[in-house]
Chains A and B, each alone.
Chain A
C-alpha cells in the first residue's frame, strides 16, 4: 500500500521543495481530508467561541459596530453589580442543595432497586420516566404541581398535616423548589449509571466477605461503596459543573425572582448579553465563571487522586 502510494511521485527529484509536501500529502492526505470537516465545525462553533470569550471580556462590543478595547472595565462593572453577590450565593446554594439531594437519592435508589428479586425492570423504568419528559414540558408540569392553591405538593403537605408552602413564589423556598424539580427529573439517569456499576461488582467479593462473616452493612461499607466510588466521583464533577451553570430552570420558572432569589451567575451572563446587549460584560462574567469552574475541576482532580491513592 505504502509503495503504491509513493509511485507517482518517485520521479520528482528528491531535493525538490515540493517533495516533502507531496510525500506528506501522499501519506496523510486522505486522513486529513476525512478529518477536515470536523476540524472546521469544531473550530468555528466550539474552539473559536471558547477562545473568543476571553477576548470579548476585554472589549466593548455591540454586534454590527467595531469593537473597542476597554481593558478591565467590564470586569469592574461586573464586580460592582449589586446583584452579583446574591447570584454567586444562589449559585453555590443551588449547587450545594443539588449535590446534597441529587447525589444521595440516585445512590440509594440504585442500591435498593438492584437488591429486588422481582419487578426490577418495572422500577427501573419508573425512575427513568421523568428523564424522558422534555425540559419545557417538565416546567409546565411543575408550575402546576407547585401552585400554592391547587398544586399537588401542597396537597401532599396538607395530607401529612403540614402547613402549605408558597414554593416558587416565596424567596425562602424558590431555589429549593427548583432543586426538587431537577432532582425529580434527573435522578433516574444517574441511578441507572450506578446500577450498571453495581452489576459490574464480581459476585465473589460478596461471597467471600459473607463467608468471612461480614454483615450487610459491612458489605455495603467495604464492597459496594468502594466499587461505586469511581463512578460517584466522576458524576460528582459532572453534576458540579452542570449545576454551577444553572440557567434554564430559573429563566423559565421564576425569571430569577422573587426579588432575585433565584438569580444565578449564568442567568446574569444571559441577561447582560440578551437583555442589555452588553456583550463585553457578559464575556467578562463568562471568563470569571469559566475560571471558577476550571479551578474547581483542578481541585477535584487533586482530591480524586488522593482519594483513589488511599483506596488502594
Chain B
C-alpha cells in the first residue's frame, strides 16, 4: 500500500486490484465517466462563449457552427452598455454588503448568546431558530411579501437586507464555531471589566474570521443567484440587481429582448464575478458545502 500516493490513502479499488484485467476496465470506465462529465459541463459553456462572439445573423445559421467566423469581441462591450452592467453590478454589491452587515450584526450576537451567555430555555430557543432550516423560502413567499408590503418596504433594499438576518444555516455554522472557542479566552477579559459587546467584537469575531469568510461567500453567491424574490421586491429599473436586469432584457416575454448574441455576452459577464469569487475561495466554499450539506 505504500505506493498509494493519493491523498487520504486507498479507496474502493486497491493497488493490488488494479493489476487485474477486469478491474483495469472498471478503472478506465471511471475515467470515461469523469471525462464525459467534464465534457458535458465545459462543452456547453464553450458553445455559449463562441455563440456570444458571433454576429447576429451567424448565430441563426442552420446548421450552426461551433467557431464563429469573426470573433466579435465588441458584443461584450454592447452587452455591457445595453444591460447597464456597471449600475446593476453596483446595485448587487450594495445588496450584498447590506445583507452581510445584517447577518453579522444579528446572527453573530445571537450565536454568541446561545453559545456563551445565559439565556432562559436556551435549547428550546435554539431549536425554534433551527426549526425552519429545511423549510424552503418558497413555502412562505406570499405572506412574506405581504409583510414587506405592509411595512412599506417594496422597492427598497431593506426588503432584501432585513430578511437575510433570518438565516438558520449561518446561525448553525456560527454557533458551531463559537462553541469551540475556549471559555477562558474571554473569561479574562470579562474579569477586566470588558462588556459582552466588547468581548464579542474584539475577541470572538477576530478569531472567527474563517467562518465569517464562509458565510460571506455563501451570502455573495446567494445574492448573485437569487431571482424570484428580487424580481418581486424590486420593480423599478433603477434598483435592479444583475439577476433582475438579465431577466428583463433577455427572458421577459412581454418586453423587447436583446439579440441572442448580446444576451449570451451579458449572461457571461454576469457569471464572471461569482466565478472569480469561487476560484479564489474554492477551499472555503467546498469546505463549507461539505460541512453543512447542500444549499439551494
- Within A142-192, the residues touching B (CB, 8 Å) are 143-145, 149-152, 155, 158, 184, 188-190, 192
Are the C-beta atoms of B145 and A150 separated by less than 8 Å?
no
Contacts of B38 in A (CB 8 A): 122-123, 126-127
B124 interfacial by beta-carbon distance below 8 Å: no
Q: How far is the CA of A273 from the CA of B267 in the complex (A)?
A: 29
Are the C-beta atoms of B294 and A34 separated by less than 8 Å?
no
Q: How far is the CA of A135 from the CA of B109 in the complex (A)?
A: 32
Distance (whole angstroms) from the CB of B56 to the closest CB of chain A: 12
Contacts of A35 in B (CB 8 A): 109-110, 113-114, 119, 125
How many chain A residues sit at the interface, stated as a range, is: 35 or more
B165 interfacial by beta-carbon distance below 8 Å: yes
Are the C-beta atoms of B139 and A34 separated by less than 8 Å?
no
14 A–B contact pairs at CB < 8 A? A44-B162, A49-B144, A111-B12, A112-B31, A115-B12, A119-B34, A123-B34, A133-B274, A134-B242, A193-B294, A196-B290, A216-B13, A216-B17, A247-B228
Distance (whole angstroms) from the CB of B179 to the closest CB of chain A: 15
Distance (whole angstroms) from the CB of A241 to the closest CB of chain B: 6
B278 interfacial by beta-carbon distance below 8 Å: yes
Contacts of A283 in B (CB 8 A): 142-143
Are the C-beta atoms of B134 and A238 separated by less than 8 Å?
yes
Distance (whole angstroms) from the CB of A86 to the closest CB of chain B: 20
Contacts of B162 in A (CB 8 A): 41, 44-45
Name which residue of chain B comes closest to A53, CB basis: B143
B2 interfacial by beta-carbon distance below 8 Å: no
B21 interfacial by beta-carbon distance below 8 Å: no
Instruction: Using known A-B contacts A37-B105, A129-B42, determine if residue A31 contacts B144 with beta carbons closer than 8 Å.
Output: no
Are the C-beta atoms of A203 and B294 separated by less than 8 Å?
no
Are the C-beta atoms of A126 and B278 separated by less than 8 Å?
no
Are the C-beta atoms of B47 and A152 separated by less than 8 Å?
yes
Q: How far is the CA of A207 from the CA of B1 in the complex (A)?
A: 10
A210 interfacial by beta-carbon distance below 8 Å: yes
Per-residue interface assignment for chain B, residues 45 to 72, with 1 indicating a CB less than 8 Å from any chain A CB and 0 otherwise: 1011001000000011111100000000
Set B43, B107, B260: member contacting A144, Cβ < 8 A: B260
Are the C-beta atoms of B136 and A242 separated by less than 8 Å?
yes
Per-residue interface assignment for chain A, residues 213 to 235, with 1 indicating a CB less than 8 Å from any chain B CB and 0 otherwise: 00010011001100000000011
Q: How far is the CA of A139 from the CA of B253 in the complex (A)?
A: 13
Are the C-beta atoms of B224 and A30 separated by less than 8 Å?
no
Per-residue interface assignment for chain A, residues 8 to 35, with 1 indicating a CB less than 8 Å from any chain B CB and 0 otherwise: 0000000000000000100110111011
Set A49, A122, A144: member contacting B51, Cβ < 8 A: A144
A206 interfacial by beta-carbon distance below 8 Å: yes
Distance (whole angstroms) from the CB of A124 to the closest CB of chain B: 8
Instruction: Please give the residue numbers on chain B whose beta carbons come within 8 Å of chain A beta carbons, in ascending order.
Output: 1, 5-6, 8-14, 16-17, 23, 26-27, 29-31, 33-34, 37-38, 40-45, 47-48, 51, 59-64, 102, 105-107, 109-110, 112-114, 117-120, 125, 129, 132, 134-136, 138-147, 149-151, 162-163, 165-166, 171, 190, 196, 200, 221, 224-228, 232, 242-243, 246-247, 250-251, 253, 260, 263-264, 266-268, 270-271, 274-275, 278, 282, 286, 289-290, 293-296
A263 interfacial by beta-carbon distance below 8 Å: no
Are the C-beta atoms of B110 and A145 separated by less than 8 Å?
no
Q: Assuming A1-B190, A112-B30, A242-B136, what are 10 further A-B pairs, CB within 8 angstroms?
A: A35-B109, A45-B166, A49-B143, A135-B226, A140-B246, A140-B267, A143-B251, A247-B138, A283-B143, A286-B139
Q: How far is the CA of A235 from the CA of B1 in the complex (A)?
A: 34
Q: How far is the CA of A282 from the CA of B243 in the complex (A)?
A: 25
Are the C-beta atoms of B232 and A274 separated by less than 8 Å?
yes
A101 interfacial by beta-carbon distance below 8 Å: no
A52 interfacial by beta-carbon distance below 8 Å: yes
User: Does more than half of chain A's interface fall in helix, strand or loop, or is it mixed?
Assistant: helix
Are the C-beta atoms of B48 and A141 separated by less than 8 Å?
yes
A298 interfacial by beta-carbon distance below 8 Å: no
Instruction: Using known A-B contacts A28-B118, A184-B40, A193-B294, determine if residue A203 contacts B10 with beta carbons closer than 8 Å.
Output: yes
Are the C-beta atoms of A150 and B62 separated by less than 8 Å?
yes
Instruction: Using known A-B contacts A123-B38, A234-B293, determine if residue A129 contacts B45 with beta carbons closer than 8 Å.
Output: yes
Set A1, A27, A206: member contacting B12, Cβ < 8 A: A206
Q: How far is the CA of A248 from the CA of B11 in the complex (A)?
A: 39
A304 interfacial by beta-carbon distance below 8 Å: no
Instruction: Using known A-B contacts A129-B41, A152-B47, determine if residue A31 contacts B228 with beta carbons closer than 8 Å.
Output: no
Name which residue of chain B comes closest to A114, CB basis: B11
Instruction: Using known A-B contacts A1-B190, A149-B62, determine if residue A27 contacts B118 with beta carbons closer than 8 Å.
Output: yes
Q: How far is the CA of A151 from the CA of B61 in the complex (A)?
A: 11
Are the C-beta atoms of B135 and A50 separated by less than 8 Å?
yes
Instruction: Using known A-B contacts A136-B243, A206-B12, determine if residue A113 contacts B140 with beta carbons closer than 8 Å.
Output: no
Contacts of B290 in A (CB 8 A): 192-193, 195-196
Distance (whole angstroms) from the CB of A176 to the closest CB of chain B: 17
Set B8, B136, B147: member contacting A49, Cβ < 8 A: B147
